Amino acid sequence: MVERSQNQDFEGRFAEEWSIIQSNLKKPSILVMGGSGTGKSALVNLVFKQEIATVGGGRPVTRGIIAYDNPYLTIYDSEGYESGDEDQTRYNNLIFGFIEEKARSVDTAVDIVWYCLSGPSARFTSRDAEIIRQILALNKPLALVITHIDVTTAKQVEGLTAAINEYNLNAPIFWSSIDMNLKFDNGLDQLHEWSKERLDESRRFSFIAASNRDLAAKEHSGAAIIKQHIVAAFAFGFAPIPFADAPILIANQVGLLARLSTLWNMSSLKDDLVATGGLEIVMANIGRTLSANLLKLIPGVGSLLGGAINGALASALTYALGIAFNKLCRRILEDQLAGKKTDILKYLDINFFPNIKNLYDEYKKNKSSPSKI
């Protein structure tokens, strides 16, 4: 009965923390623009390595602009323009009217602009340059992206790049290809990094969470989150807590798991990747083990410390839990991207819980304070 009560307490706290984090996320907004047929929607999916801009999956926010929303990110996909002064004038009015409208609120303002140019067309005009200058004058970071590089000749790329450089635009140029085997010094990895660095810290977190491209960046962000919670856990040293009251300590760890789950977008896992349930089931198992079996998980702790959780123990437990869960999330996402079916509950038994014990021992052996992580 006590075990069930503790488990329910963990699940309830997690659901509450998760809800608070989701409601407080600051979503970045990216405006994608360019001529018809330049591959704007494909670029979005390629950069984030997941299907964000889908046919029929967006919502019209104004005539000519579709928004693709998820909990972490908003993509504004503008219609392509054709040649002709009348069409291009209408396109200019559409774009700048939209940017002005969204700028009225900091929560909806456009953060970054990706301007697409088709490589095979090898075409860059004074009208393109004019639009880009006007956007840059609004202090909007803008990147030029030459798309369809996999079907573009070297001569076409050289000619298009030369045409762009004639206008001395203060905007970087990146290349995009659907061929994952092609690697460039100015490719999608670099566009992803450039975009991330143009966001403030709160929006950068959401950008990283929305993306499956740079898993090392996700894990690094997770490590920073873990360190914050280790510092908080260390404060328990000033008021030792009996193991019988372990759920009080776990309040800090619940917040840690909720933040890491958000970072890794764990709620997006497909049903067929989990043998017996979704995120709720995973958290129920973690809560059951931590709340009811803490002493069994790390044998000898109770007798060593006289049955009290002090600051050193609290920080060691938090370190072990956070690092193990951060690595588990990366493993799950890597398998998902590789098309493997994943039994997360099996991973908990084989990888996660044993790792907590090993990481706890590592921390106690090598770390004397959370500031050294």
| Coil, strand or helix at 112 | strand
The phi, psi pair for 241, rounded to 5°, reads: -120, 130
Domain of 62? 27-199
Q: What is the reported pLDDT for 299?
A: 55
Last residue of a domain, one of 199, 222, 237: 199
| Coil, strand or helix at 76 | strand
Mean pLDDT throughout 247-270?
80
Confirm whether 182 is domain-assigned: yes
C-alpha 82/C-alpha 63 separation (Å) is 16
Helix H segments across 49-84?
none
pTM: 0.87
Q: What is the reported pLDDT for 2?
A: 41
Shared domain check, 332 and 229: yes
Contact 255, 318 (CB under 8 A): no
Please, which pLDDT band fits residue 354 given cuts at 50, 70 and 90? Answer: confident
Residue 256's CB: how many other CB atoms inside 10 A? 24
Q: Is the pLDDT of residue 100 over 50?
A: yes
Q: What is the reported pLDDT for 65?
A: 92
Who wins on pLDDT, 266 or 287?
266
Contact 120, 140 (CB under 8 A): no
The phi, psi pair for 278, rounded to 5°, reads: -115, -150
Q: What is the reported pLDDT for 330?
A: 93
CATH of residue 105: 3.40.50.300
Smallest Cα–Cα separation from 64: which of 97, 42, 38?
97
Q: What is the reported pLDDT for 4?
A: 44
Please, which pLDDT band fits residue 138 given cuts at 50, 70 and 90? Answer: very high
Give the type of residue at 213: R
Considering its fold, how many domains does the chain have in total?
2
Contacts 24+ apart (CB under 8 A), 159-168: 159/122, 160/117, 160/119, 160/121, 160/122, 160/123, 160/124, 163/122, 163/123, 163/124, 164/117, 164/124, 167/126, 167/129
Mean pLDDT throughout 298-324?
70
pLDDT tens digits, one per residue of 10-42: 677 888 888 899 899 999 999 999 888 888 999
Smallest Cα–Cα separation from 265: which of 329, 339, 219?
329
Q: Is the pLDDT of residue 305 over 50?
A: no
Average pLDDT, the chain: 82
Smallest Cα–Cα separation from 328: which of 278, 274, 260, 275?
260
Look at phi and psi of residue 84 and say left if phi exceeds 0, alpha if psi is from -120 to 50, else beta.
Answer: left
Shared domain check, 39 and 180: yes
The DSSP code for 35 is B
Who wins on pLDDT, 257 or 14?
257
Mean pLDDT throughout 147-175?
94
Last residue of a domain, one of 166, 199, 232: 199
Q: What is the reported pLDDT for 97?
A: 94
What tokens does 72 get?
């972490």
| Terminal alpha carbon distance of the chain | 38
The phi, psi pair for 167, rounded to 5°, reads: -95, 0
Mean pLDDT throughout 284-302?
61
Give the count of alpha carbons within 13 A of 53, CB side only: 22
Share of the chain above pLDDT 90, in %: 45
Shared domain check, 73 and 17: no
Shared domain check, 302 and 156: no
Q: Is the pLDDT of residue 254 over 90?
A: no
Shared domain check, 154 and 228: no
Confirm whether 208 is domain-assigned: no
Q: Is the pLDDT of residue 1 over 50?
A: no
Shared domain check, 163 and 82: yes
Shared domain check, 40 and 15: no
- Which H or E element spans position 295? helix 294-297
Mean pLDDT throughout 281-294?
67
Please, which pLDDT band fits residue 306 given cuts at 50, 70 and 90? Answer: very low
Please, which pLDDT band fits residue 203 given cuts at 50, 70 and 90? Answer: very high
Contact 103, 58 (CB under 8 A): no
E-assigned strand segments in 238-352: 241-242, 308-309
Mean pLDDT throughout 85-90?
71
Integer angstrom CA distances of residue 370 from 111, 263, 281, 304: 35, 22, 31, 21
Q: What is the reported pLDDT for 304?
A: 45
Please, which pLDDT band fits residue 155 given cuts at 50, 70 and 90? Answer: very high
